[in-house]
Amino acid sequence: MRIISGKYKGRQLNASKDRSIRPTTNKIKEYIFNLLDDAVLDANVLDLFSGSGGLGIEALSRGAAKATFVDVAQSSIKVLRRNLEQIKVAEQCRVVRRDAVDFLRVNKAPFDLIFVDPPFPWGAFEKLLPRAFTAKNLAEDGILVMENERSHDIDWESENFHILRQKQFDRSIISFLTHKGDL
C-alpha cells in the first residue's frame, strides 16, 4: 500500500495484519482522487472506518488542510498512528477511536470531504447516510465518497442527498454523493 500522488507520492504505508481489514486499492484511490481533483485542496477531511488511513493520508498528500480519522478497532488506530508519524503529518490530524455512526451523532464541525469505506460485511448505511448529510457533518458544498460492496442493498432515494457519480469495480461500488440541490 502506497501513496499514489502529491507531496508524499511513493511513500509506503503500514497495513494492518488483521485480514478482515480491506484497504482501498491503488486503482480505486486513483479513480477517486482524479475525480475529486481540486476539491481536495485545503479541505477538512473525515476518513470514517479509516483502517490504516490510506484515503485520508492520500488527501493530505494532495493538499488537504487537515484530516480526522475515525475507527473503532484499536489495531487499526495503532497502525494509523504509525503511518501518520512516519509521514510526519500527525500535527494536521485528529485520530478518534469510536463507532462511525456514533461519531457523526456527536460531531459539530462540518467536513468538506467525507470518505466512508466500511468493512464489506458492514450494513448500517441507513443509519450512517442520514447522519452524514446534516449541516453539522458535511459542509454545504461538501462531497461524501463511499465504497461499499456491490451486493449491499442501499436505498439511494433520499431527501438529503443525490448521487453525483457511481462506478462499479470488481466487488465494490464507488459513489460520490452531495447534498440535494448542489450541482
Angle at 103 between CA 111 and CA 181, to 5 degrees: 40
Question: Over the stretch 58-105, which tens digit does the pLDDT of each residue have?
Answer: 999 999 999 999 999 999 999 999 999 999 998 999 999 999 999 999
Question: Over the stretch 56-70, which tens digit does the pLDDT of each residue have?
Answer: 999 999 999 999 999
pLDDT-derived band of residue 53, with 50, 70 and 90 as boundaries?
Answer: very high
pLDDT-derived band of residue 182, with 50, 70 and 90 as boundaries?
Answer: very low
pLDDT at residue number 15? 84
pLDDT above 50: residue 183:
no
**Residue 86 has which C-alpha cell?**
512516519
pLDDT at residue number 133? 94
pLDDT at residue number 29? 93
For 10: left if phi > 0, alpha if psi spans -120 to 50, otherwise beta; the answer is left
For the chain, domains (ranges, CATH) are 26-179 (3.40.50.150)
Q: What is the rounded average pLDDT for all residues in the chain?
A: 90
